Amino acid sequence: MASSIVRMRGLGGLRTIRCFSASARREAAEVNRLGVVGSGQMGLGIALVAAQKASVPVTIIDTSDKALQKGLAFADKLLAKDVSKSRITQEQADKARSLLSTSTKLEDLSSVDFVIEAVPEIPQLKFDIFSQLAQICPKHAILATNTSSISITRIAAATTSDPTDTSASSRVVSTHFMNPVPVQKGVEIISGLQTSKETLDTAVEFCKKMGKVTSISADSPGFLANRILMPYINEAIICLETGVGDRDSIDAIMKNGTNVPMGPLQLADFIGLDTCLSIMKVLHQETGDSKYRPSVLLTKMVDAGWLGKKSAKGFYDY
């Protein structure tokens, strides 16, 4: 595939852009087996949708059997709910469930065509996982991350100690699914500097096979979704902490004034306040722009362990 690297200087400084020929054909590879690292809400959601929509076998990896069983119990609950609401038949639910398997060993991803990492937003944890995946997975396998803010280029670099060896780093891409995965159709696809055209095309086509609507983003802090969403949520929290409005007024005006399904404070609870704080810290650190400074109240709530819905207490009680 003919490609070139172009450097352009604009208002934001020197930018590096990967260019491909306009006549370049799609090079999407077939995905017949998926691996998902992480059995939390995001990882389980990704695995379940892949089984339901793309009909591919999925191996879910986590560090403990307890975490895996909790994830599968959540999958059973979601499938039962869909059957009860006549969204799917019991036969379809049973088929999707049969495609899910679990393991506590990354080595069991040695035969996948595509793997999606969905662990907490801890950079070194992701770097360590991708370093191992590059050794374990087949040489053709796409190595994707569900990161919401960490540089794809940095994650790709973790696959090798030799920057000139792009055999693994060229297969790294981000498939950032929106939460909750079984409900939200959006997914943003982000390429690192090393990502190949075939990798990007395969990621786009597989996400479409999962029934998702894809958006392409540059590898910039926060990408598209969180670059827009998180400052909005953070500003709502600042409005609360400085007394501009109370919780109910803030959420009500955004729901009834902009027609969003839930207000920013309730949405923050559903995302997880620790996740919101982590993303704001990345935006602040990587851009150096004070407009991304995390709210003091947000930091205090995370310190208190009030993380939102998953801890039963955030801006609301659950």
**Does residue 226 have an active-site annotation?**
yes
* Choice among 117, 146, 148, 169 that is catalytic: 148
Residue 263 annotated as part of some ligand binding site: no
Spatial separation of the C-alpha atoms in residues 91 and 44, rounded to whole Å: 20
For residue 197, say whether it is annotated as part of any ligand binding site.
Answer: no
Which residue of the set 151, 170, 226, 234 is catalytic? Answer: 226
Q: Which of 146, 170, 188, 191 is catalytic?
A: 188
Q: Is 178 part of any known ligand binding site?
A: no
Task: Determine if residue 41 is labeled as part of a ligand binding site.
Answer: yes
The annotation status of 179 as a binding-site residue, yes or no, is: yes
Using CA atoms, how far apart are residues 233 and 250, in angstroms rounded to an integer?
11
Amino acid 242 reads: T
Is 288 annotated in some ligand binding site? no
Environment class of 163 (CB within 10 Å of its CB; exposed 0-12, middle 13-18, buried 19+): exposed
Residue 10: half-sphere exposure toward Cβ, Cα within 13 Å:
7
Q: Is 139 annotated as contributing to ligand binding?
A: no
> Any binding-site annotation on 121?
yes
Yes or no: say if 215 and 18 are a contact pair by the CB < 8 Å rule.
no
| Residue 305 assigned as binding residue | no
Read off the DSSP letter of residue 313.
B
Give residues with Cβ within 8 angstroms of 61, minimum separation 6.
35, 36, 37, 38, 39, 102, 103, 104, 105, 106, 108, 109
What's the start-to-end Cα distance of the chain, in Å? Answer: 52
Q: Please indicate if the annotation marks 286 as binding a ligand.
A: no
* Residue 1 annotated as lining a ligand binding site: no
Could you give phi then psi for residue 165, rounded to 5 degrees?
A: -95, 100
Measured distance CA(255)–CA(263) in Å, rounded: 5
Give me the catalytic one of 117, 146, 174, 176.
176
Say whether 176 is catalytic: yes
Annotated catalytic residue 55? no
| 126 labelled binding-site residue | yes
Query: Would you list which residues are annotated within the binding site?
Result: 38-43, 62, 121, 126, 148, 179, 310
Which are the catalytic amino acids?
A: 148, 176, 188, 226
Query: Would you list which residues are annotated within the binding site for NAD(+)?
Result: 38-43, 62, 121, 126, 148, 179, 310
